[in-house]
Amino acid sequence: MPGKKKSKKKSAREESASPREPEDPIAANVRVPPPPRPGESLRALLLNRQVDEKELLGMKISSRVLEQLTPQEIRELKMVFDVFDTNSSGTVDAQKLRRAFRVLGFKMSKEDVREMMFNVTKKAKGEIDFNEFLEMVIERQGDSRDIYEEIKQGFKMMDYDDTGKITVSNLKQACKDAGIRFTDREIHEMVEEADMNGDNAVDEEEFINIMLKTNLF
46-79 pLDDT per residue, tens:
444 444 445 566 778 887 788 888 888 888 899 8
Does pLDDT of 40 surpass 90?
no
CATH code assigned to 63-140: 1.10.238.10
- What per-residue confidence (pLDDT) applies to 31? 54
143-174 pLDDT per residue, tens:
455 677 778 888 988 999 999 999 999 999 88
- What per-residue confidence (pLDDT) applies to 45? 39
CA-nearest of 118, 143, 120, 144 to 130 is: 120
Q: Is the pTM of this model over 0.85?
A: no
- What per-residue confidence (pLDDT) applies to 73? 87
CA-nearest of 193, 207, 196, 194 to 163 is: 207
- What per-residue confidence (pLDDT) applies to 195? 92
Ramachandran category for residue 179: left, alpha or beta (phi over 0 → left; psi -120 to 50 → alpha): left
Q: Where are the domains of the chain?
A: 63-140, 147-213
CA-nearest of 139, 70, 60 to 104 is: 139
- Mean pLDDT lowest among 26-30, 74-78, 187-191: 26-30
- Phi/psi of residue 10, nearest 5 degrees: -80, 140
Q: How confident is the model at residue 29 (pLDDT cuts 50, 70, 90)?
A: low
Q: What percent of the chain has pLDDT over 90?
A: 20
Q: Which CATH number fits domain 147-213: 1.10.238.10, 1.10.3210.10, 1.10.10.10, 1.10.3720.10?
A: 1.10.238.10
Query: Which class for 18: exposed (0-12), middle (13-18), buried (19 or more C-beta within 10 A)?
Result: exposed
Name the amino acid, one letter, at 128. I
Query: Which class for 212: exposed (0-12), middle (13-18), buried (19 or more C-beta within 10 A)?
Result: buried
